[in-house]
A and B are shown apart, each in its own frame.
Chain A
């Protein structure tokens, strides 16, 4: 799969409270509404300007904090194609897989890409292509590829249980 989009670059420790504020977790549930508050407390411009396929780039510990999966889901609703970070917080990484949102780890790519540039991700080859060059990222663990390939945890669970 090729994912192509504009880069939205942020720093280290982007936490789930700034990606999807806690005060909305029980009240904002419609995907389109969730997209509107994505990254609200970090970058108010993001939700207005994000385009389908855009790529979020963060530093270390991306998605730390709460277990709220809306912090992954709201990015999917907003059309984000992938998140690249130096490292991901554990539950956030799981939530990305469970929502079929590619969460890629490449410290070199994070340092190299520039906010606003258009980059390309080739998930089959495991490559991030940007102005500065081509960067490799490690494949997902074999065991979780199945979830990802099924389109997320819910379709995967259906498949496991033989539900059409």
Chain B
């Protein structure tokens, strides 16, 4: 019987043939942490070790509260700068570079067949590039700094195959919300998802990213796809090493298979307060909104800006709406700046913010007031996620966000 991608890559790392359910000890190729690196470093020193064992495997990116919102965050950043300097961690990206999950592939720290762990749940994102990547806790990262190793359970695999051509304006975000609504927030608990099918094969880098990024929202440990031409072109010149694409065997065994056809997909919305509380836009159309959060590691890339700029160009954001814009990275920012789209958004009345996570986890830069509704292109709408448990977050695609910003209520852009 054949093996799935996860079984193969974890088998290579463990140096033996592995089966789902088995627990193995492995050495990750890359280990990423962000603003939580200060806390990680304190735990690391508690172990009683002086030096990080493989500094070249660590990547540290400041993004979660950048620039620092107050003296505590500032101290946190300062501690991290000192730590990476002391430990010789050269893959360090300070507050101006962007969101960790965007910066990782941009800077060549992600490649097909790599085993990557990150002290962040959305580390599943790099599955879009053919890597096995998964989130871990802070103490686990500290232990990797000390020993270079971690235990992982070999997951069962769920296959999600997608076919059909997206109707005009419908995006992979609508598809991902549809998947979450269908299989539920625990639909892939502790399992790996493998996305496949003709629609996935043709997707752009940014569109694929959305699916792997949000795989964790349905409980998945990883969200793999076979790299396509767009991915390989993107990696060209960024990854300075040889790599091998690992694929599931044709006769590999999957635990479950789901099939989706996007040909008649509608714009989808996740209502408060869970990501699987998903409905077609028609069911929430007309809901008044106070704020639009266009950003996050899910949807703030060049192609997302293209859509939003096209919608807002020459128009004005509704006076009752604050539209906050956070490019996923400095690279994205510079590119959309050059294309003139930042000008379009600023003319329309958007607030252009710095690359980074922004208000995504409620630290700063756009915390809503009691009772306010935010339409967000991000990935989580839990109670309190934006920093106020009395506020409401609806998750949507960039197009739905932009069209709704113009009228101040949730709109169906097809009308």
Asked if residues B47 and A21 are in contact (CB atoms below 8 Å), the reply is no
| Residue B46 CB within 8 A of the other chain | yes
B219 touching A89, Cβ below 8 Å: yes
Considering only residues 139-163 of chain A, those with a C-beta below 8 Å from chain B are 141, 143-144, 147, 152-154, 157-158, 160-161, 163
Encoded as 1 (CB less than 8 Å from any A CB) or 0, chain B from 354 to 398 comes to 000000011100010000000000001011110101000000000
A95 touching B137, Cβ below 8 Å: yes
B27 lies within 8 A of chain A by Cβ = no
8 Å CB contact of B380 from A65, A94, A98: A65
A interface footprint on B178-206 (CB within 8 Å = 1, 0 otherwise): 00000001100110000000000000000
Given contacts A87-B189, A154-B46, A157-B146, contact A23 B363 (CB under 8 A): yes
A143 contacts B49, C-beta separation under 8 Å: no
B147 and A41 contact, CB distance less than 8 A = no
Decide if B304 is an interface residue (CB 8 Å cutoff): no
B43 within 8 A of A: yes
Complex CA distance for A144 and B22, rounded to whole angstroms: 11
Within 8 A of A (CB), among B19-47: 23, 35-36, 38-39, 43, 46-47
CA distance A83 to B383 in the complex (A): 21
Q: Are A94 and B136 in contact (CB under 8 A)?
A: yes
Does B159 have its Cβ within 8 Å of any Cβ on chain A? no
Instruction: Report if A144-B384 is in contact (Cβ < 8 Å); known contacts: A67-B135, A163-B48.
Output: no
Collect the chain A residues with CB atoms within 8 Å of residue B361's CB: 22-23, 25, 66
**Interface hit among A12-20, A47-55, A119-127, A129-137:** A12-20
A143 to B389, CA, bound (A): 39
A-B contacts counted at CB < 8 A amount to 136
**A26 touching B363, Cβ below 8 Å:** yes
Contacts of B47 in A (CB 8 A): 154, 157-158, 161, 163
Interface size class of B (residues with CB under 8 A): 35 or more
Q: Is the CB of B185 within 8 A of A13?
A: yes
Knowing A22-B387, A163-B48, the reply to whether A61 touches B139 (Cβ < 8 A) is no
B121 and A65 form a contact (CB under 8 A): yes
Q: Which residue of A lies closest to B357 (CB)?
A: A22
> Do the beta carbons of A98 and B389 come within 8 Å of each other?
no
Check if B48 sits within 8 Å of A27, measured CB to CB: no
A89–B189 contact, CB under 8 A? yes
Which residues of B sit under 8 angstroms from A25, Cβ to Cβ?
36, 361
Which of A69, A91, A141, A144 counts the most chain B CB atoms within 10 A? A91
Closest to B46 in A: A154
User: What per-residue 1/0 map shows which CB atoms of A29-67 lie under 8 Å from chain B?
Assistant: 100000000000110000000000000000011001111
Q: A64 and B219: CB pair below 8 A?
A: yes
Residue among A29, A87, A143 making CB contact with B151, cutoff 8 Å:
A143
- Cα separation A65 to B273 with both chains bound (whole Å): 12
- Distance in angstroms between the alpha carbons of A94 and B137 in the assembled complex: 8
Nearest-neighbour CB distance to chain A for B158, whole angstroms, equals 14
Provide the bound-state CA to CA distance between A147 and B186, in Å.
Answer: 26
Closest chain-A Cβ to B20's Cβ sits at a distance in Å of: 13
Question: Which residue on A lies nearest to B274, using beta carbons?
Answer: A13
Q: In the complex, what residue of chain B is closest to A44 when comparing beta carbons?
A: B389
Instruction: State whether A21 and B121 are in contact (beta carbons under 8 Å apart), knowing that A90-B190, A98-B137 are contacts in the complex.
Output: no
Write out the residue numbers on chain A whose beta carbons fall within 8 Å of the beta carbon of B153.
141
The reply to whether B136 and A41 form a contact with Cβ atoms under 8 Å apart is: no
Give the contacting residue for A144; candidates B121, B123, B151; CB below 8 A: B151
Residue of B nearest to A89 (CB): B219
| Residues on the B chain within 8 Å of A163, using CB | 47-49
Add 14 more A-B contacts to A18-B389, A66-B120, A99-B139 (CB < 8 A).
A21-B389, A22-B384, A25-B36, A26-B36, A26-B76, A61-B189, A67-B135, A67-B137, A87-B189, A90-B189, A90-B190, A91-B137, A98-B137, A144-B23
Q: Which A residues form the contact surface with B (CB < 8 A)? A: 13, 15, 17-18, 21-23, 25-27, 29, 41-42, 60-61, 64-69, 72, 87, 89-91, 93-95, 98-99, 141, 143-144, 147, 152-154, 157-158, 160-161, 163
In the A-B complex, list the 7 residue pairs whose CB atoms are closest, starting with the nearest. A22-B361, A61-B186, A69-B137, A143-B23, A17-B382, A41-B384, A23-B362
**A-B CB contact pairs (8 Å), 27 listed:** A13-B274, A15-B382, A17-B382, A17-B385, A18-B384, A26-B35, A27-B70, A67-B119, A67-B121, A68-B36, A68-B138, A87-B186, A89-B219, A90-B190, A91-B121, A93-B190, A94-B136, A94-B137, A94-B140, A141-B23, A153-B140, A153-B143, A154-B143, A157-B142, A157-B147, A161-B49, A163-B49
